[in-house]
Amino acid sequence: MKRLAMIFGCLVLFASPTFATSEFSKQWKNEYLGDDADEDFKKVGRKAGCYVCHVKGEDKKKVRNEYGQALMEFLKAEDFPKEYVKEHPEEAKAKILEGIKKGNEKKSSDGKTFGEKIKANELPATDSKL
């Protein structure tokens, strides 16, 4: 019984941030890899998956590339608990997209904004490792 309680406690503790970051990913993909997106960019974006924001081979919970770091200035997983997203999906979506758009205004290490790079059908982070 103790083991079951401990497992449940861990799930509750870690479920919300994971859910929130998957919601961030879902909204990013819907916004930038949707029907109107360039087909080649869709392929590259889908292949990149988590590595649009994270660094391949590193701890996803701790290490983000330059784009992921920019987005984290405006999006905090703890602000989007599972219950909030389920009860207020449109509000959560709007807040997530607002955070992404603010992050897109930040500059990449190559001098372009992340938004400019996305509009040019490039992955936003120059330090992406696929």
> Could you give the CA distance from residue 125 to residue 64 in angstroms, rounded to a whole number?
10
Domain membership flag for residue 129: no
Regions of the chain where pLDDT drops below 70: 1-20, 127-130
Provide the domain limits for residue 13: 2-119
13-29 pLDDT tens trace: 444 445 557 899 999 99
> Could you give the CA distance from residue 114 to residue 30 in angstroms, rounded to a whole number?
17
Number of domains in the chain: 1
Q: CB–CB of 108/67 below 8 Å? A: yes
pTM: 0.80
Domain membership flag for residue 125: no
Domain membership flag for residue 103: yes
Domain membership flag for residue 91: yes
Domain membership flag for residue 41: yes
State residue 129's pLDDT score.
Answer: 56
27-36 long-range Cβ contacts below 8 angstroms, 24+ apart? 27/93, 27/96, 27/97, 27/100, 28/52, 28/100, 31/97, 31/100, 32/118
Domain membership flag for residue 124: no
> Could you give the CA distance from residue 11 to residue 46 in angstroms, rounded to a whole number?
28
State residue 5's pLDDT score.
Answer: 41
Domain membership flag for residue 113: yes
**C-beta atoms surrounding 42 within 10 Å:** 16
Domain membership flag for residue 52: yes
